[in-house]
């Protein structure tokens, strides 16, 4: 497996851990607001091999205690569980970011206890899920299966939504709340524009609107919070 990016240390990506963040290439979604589109479209070149990543981690024992996998969509890589096993054997915790579209591999990882924390995106309400994910069609049952797998697991997890003014309204948060009713954690984060975002003209709701959306979400997930909004 090739590694397409490495942040050598972060206190933010893996709650409760001093971690590195590993970026994997490829994604089956084309979200118009994606911050890492160079990983999605294949334009980002690999920076190291799996073996080089393990060598790096061997040298960081005692300095780092976790590895966060993000992308792209990490679960496109069918050999990811094996890499996770090797990382756990080195004594590191593992966090996984996912779009939730690969429930079979997610369930394998959960069953074997290969991840300590999973963050899954909830893109939008069912009617707007495909357009928000940037695809023509989408099998929502796969998303629902991943939601169920996480909510019935014994590991820590969060659901999260990147909120875009042009894509989300109050009704969407009622419908997303129904999708994840009773979940452990739900975070709403406002869209931030960057040069790597594939489409222009997108913006974030103002802080008051974000707080209003979070109040709606809290009707379904009591531990709903804003992230990065003052």
* DSSP assignments along 96-127, one per residue: EEE-S--HHHHHHHHHHT--SEEEEE--S-GG
Strand partners, 68: 21, 95
Task: Quote the CA–CA distance of 104 and 211 in Å, as a whole number.
Answer: 35
Task: Quote the CA–CA distance of 69 and 87 in Å, as a whole number.
Answer: 11
The answer to whether the beta carbons of residues 225 and 158 sit under 8 Å apart is: no
Give the per-residue pLDDT at 196.
63
User: What digits encode the pLDDT tens for the residues 190-218?
Assistant: 998 776 666 668 999 999 999 999 999 99
Give the per-residue pLDDT at 198.
66
Strand partners, 49: 2
Identify the CA nearest to 162 among candidates 218, 123, 119, 205: 123
Residue 146 has pLDDT above 70, yes or no: yes
The superfamily in CATH containing domain 2-227 is Aldolase class I (3.20.20.70)
Task: Quote the CA–CA distance of 96 and 75 in Å, as a whole number.
Answer: 9
Task: Quote the CA–CA distance of 120 and 143 in Å, as a whole number.
Answer: 10
Mean pLDDT of 85-98: 97
The separation between the first and the last C-alpha atoms of the chain, rounded to the nearest angstrom, is 39
**114 SS3 class:** coil
Categorize the per-residue pLDDT at 229 as very low, low, confident or very high, splitting at 50, 70 and 90: confident
Categorize the per-residue pLDDT at 37 as very low, low, confident or very high, splitting at 50, 70 and 90: confident
Only one residue has tokens 């099998």, namely: 139
Categorize the per-residue pLDDT at 88 as very low, low, confident or very high, splitting at 50, 70 and 90: very high
Categorize the per-residue pLDDT at 4 as very low, low, confident or very high, splitting at 50, 70 and 90: very high
Residue 28 has pLDDT above 80, yes or no: yes
Mean pLDDT of 78-103: 97
Give the per-residue pLDDT at 38.
81
What is 145-179 written as a DSSP string? HHHHHHHTSSSEEEEEEEE-TTT--HHHHHHHHHH
Calculate what percentage of the chain has a pLDDT beyond 70: 97
Give the per-residue pLDDT at 3.
94
Determine if the pTM surpasses 0.75: yes
- Mean of pLDDT over the chain: 94
Give the per-residue pLDDT at 194.
73
The answer to whether the beta carbons of residues 177 and 149 sit under 8 Å apart is: no
Calculate what percentage of the chain has a pLDDT beyond 90: 86
Mean pLDDT of 51-69: 96
Task: Quote the CA–CA distance of 157 and 96 in Å, as a whole number.
Answer: 9
Burial of residue 12, with CB atoms counted within 10 A of its CB: 0-12 exposed, 13-18 middle, 19 or more buried: exposed
Give the per-residue pLDDT at 19.
97
Strands 186-190 and 224-227: parallel
Categorize the per-residue pLDDT at 228 as very low, low, confident or very high, splitting at 50, 70 and 90: confident
Mean pLDDT of 89-99: 97
Residue 64: DSSP 8-state: B
Mean pLDDT of 4-15: 93
């Amino acid at each position: 497996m090739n590694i397409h990016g490495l942040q050598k240390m972060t206190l933010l990506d893996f709650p409760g851990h001093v971690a590195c963040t590993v970026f994997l290439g490829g994604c089956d979604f084309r979200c118009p607001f994606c911050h890492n589109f160079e990983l999605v479209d294949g334009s980002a070149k690999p920076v190291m091999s799996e073996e080089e990543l393990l060598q790096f981690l061997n040298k960081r024992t005692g300095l780092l205690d976790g590895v966060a996998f993000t992308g792209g969509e990490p679960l496109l890589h069918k050999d990811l569980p094996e890499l996770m096993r090797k990382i756990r054997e080195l004594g590191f915790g593992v966090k996984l970011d996912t779009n939730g579209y690969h429930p079979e591999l997610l369930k394998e990882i959960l069953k074997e206890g290969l991840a300590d924390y999973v963050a899954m995106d909830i893109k939008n309400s069912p009617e707007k899920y495909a357009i928000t994910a940037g695809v023509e069609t989408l099998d929502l049952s796969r998303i629902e299966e991943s939601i169920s797998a996480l909510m019935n697991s014994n590991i820590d997890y969060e659901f999260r939504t990147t909120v875009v003014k042009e894509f989300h309204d109050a009704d969407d948060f009622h419908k997303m709340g129904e999708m994840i009713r009773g979940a452990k954690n739900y975070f709403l984060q406002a869209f931030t524009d960057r040069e790597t975002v594939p489409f222009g003209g997108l913006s974030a709701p103002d802080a008051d609107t974000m707080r209003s959306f979070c109040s709606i979400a809290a009707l379904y997930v009591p531990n709903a919070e804003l992230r990065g909004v003052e």
